[in-house]
Structures are given as structure tokens and as C-alpha cells.
Amino acid sequence: MTLQGTVYGVGLGPGDPDLMSVRADRLVRGGRHIAFFRKAGRAGQARSIVNGMLRKDATEFAMEYPVTTEIPLSDPRYNSILSEFYEDCCAHIRALCAAGEDVVVLCEGDPFFYGSFMHLYTRLRHDVPVQVVPAITGMSAAWTATSEPVTWGDDVLTVLMGTLPEAELTRHMREADALVVMKLGRNVPKVRAALAAAGKLDRAWLVEYASMDRQAVLPLAQADDRVSPYFSIVVVHGQGRRP
């Protein structure tokens, strides 16, 4: 009787392979079946992080997003297309597990923090064994790159998505002590405007490719109308109680 394989959602951390956990490193190097998400025509950030680490006989399963920014999130087709995509990915992974094979799914950052793996996890967890390996998040690497503590004393940290409407961003930013804004890209001008309206633009830092070779850190007020890469984060440090 063939034993059922296990799915491992492996957090790779913010981008520097040296920041991966020991367990993540072991699973990646020993994995026979390696799955990862990527945009069509791209190598994929998760795959790039582990370049040179995979065993020679590893079989790779590239899960290519059918849409990213081609249609708006509000379009009903967006969820429908992605739902079908995730179902197809899960069918492939289920078949491997049914054959007794383990599958390592590479995840940028932490698998349970705004990651695509979550959409696989919720579909697979009742059918096959799934184990999740946590990791350092991209935002942790981003505030570390600024060389300043992000929270003090009783500061409340708020995490926002740059895809939110400007009015919603402004409302949350006004109430925040310390602040992280993710999913920037084309949303940088909107995020800047919201921070200015909330009175926090002068404290905001833009961090691109945190912990990676291309890391860049600059005040957001000096970023003009630049389009930042997907792996960009805005950090506003808290100014709370301290001795």
C-alpha cells in the first residue's frame, strides 16, 4: 500500500537565502518535487531565491498566474480565473501525493502572510497532509534595512495594502502608530498622497528588494512618481514610549 505524500509550504524569507530557516533549507535541498508560483515568462522570485540549491533530479512544477494586473480586482472574472487556476494546481499536487510523493511549495516571505500558498492550503488541507514552515517576513527585512526600530513601547503596528482606495489608506494611516504598506508597484503615487493627507509622509521610507542584492532605501518623499517593483515596502516608524 502506497503511503500518501505530504505537501510542505516552505517560507523562504525576504529574499536572502542566508535568512532561510534551517528546516526550510533542508526541505528545499532534499525536495524531489518543487512547486512555485511565477508570472508567465518570468523565472519567479521564489525559484530565484533557491537557485543552485535544488537536487539534480528535482522535478519542478511552475504554477504560472493566468492574470496579475491585466484586469482589475473588482472584475468578477478575476476571482473566477484565479479560482480555476488554484484548483488546477491542487489537482496536480494531489496526484503527486496520491502516488506517495512529497511536494515542496516555495513561498516568498511567510506562507501565511499574504502569500499565494494560502489558496492552495485551504483547498488541500482536508485531502492531504500539509505542513507549513514559517519564515521571516519581507516587512521585517524592510524595517531592518532602515536601521531604525519600527515599534516602541505601546506602538500599534498597522499593515496596509497599497491596492486599497486612497480614502481607506488615509483613514488607516491617520490612526496608525507604526505603519507598513505592501503591494506598491503602480500604487506609489496614491500611497504618497494618502501619507501626506495623514501627516506622515515626512516619516515614510521606501524599501525596495529588502535583504536582496538590489536593496534600495530612500525617503518616500524623494521617490517622486516612480513605479516601484513588486518587492517594495513603505515603512513609517512608531515614535512610542521609551525609557
Give residues with Cβ within 8 angstroms of 105, minimum separation 6. 7, 8, 9, 10, 35, 36, 93, 111, 117, 120
Q: Please state, in angstroms and rounded to a whole number, the distance separating the CA atoms of residues 36 and 104.
A: 8
Predicted local distance difference test score (pLDDT) of residue 218: 95
Q: Identify the CATH assignment for 7-133 out of 3.40.50.1100, 3.40.1010.10, 1.20.58.1030, 3.30.1550.10.
A: 3.40.1010.10
Question: Which residue type, as a one-letter code, is found at position 242?
Answer: R
Domain boundaries, the chain: 7-133, 138-236
Grid cell for residue 155: 506602538
Q: Please state, in angstroms and rounded to a whole number, the distance separating the CA atoms of residues 167 and 173.
A: 10
For residue 43, name the pLDDT band (cuts at 50, 70, 90): confident
pLDDT > 60? residue 20: yes
Q: Are strands 130-133 and 7-11 parallel, antiparallel or unpaired?
A: parallel
H or E segment and range at residue 93 = helix 76-98
- SS3 state of residue 163: coil
27 close to 10: Cβ distance less than 8 angstroms:
yes
Of 34-38, 40-44, 106-110, 113-117, where does mean pLDDT reach its minimum?
40-44
CATH architecture of 138-236: 2-Layer Sandwich (3.30)
Q: Which residue has the higher pLDDT, 71 or 107?
A: 107
Q: For residue 64, which phi and psi values (nearest 5 degrees)?
A: -95, 120
73 close to 163: Cβ distance less than 8 angstroms:
yes
- What is the torsional sign of CA 189, 73, 134, 213? negative
Q: Please state, in angstroms and rounded to a whole number, the distance separating the CA atoms of residues 229 and 87.
A: 28
**Sheet with 157-161: strands ordered across:** 157-161, 178-182, 232-236, 204-208, 216-219
pLDDT > 70? residue 80: yes
Percent of all residues in the chain with a pLDDT value above 90, rounded to a whole number: 86
Predicted local distance difference test score (pLDDT) of residue 209: 94
Predicted local distance difference test score (pLDDT) of residue 1: 53
Predicted local distance difference test score (pLDDT) of residue 79: 87
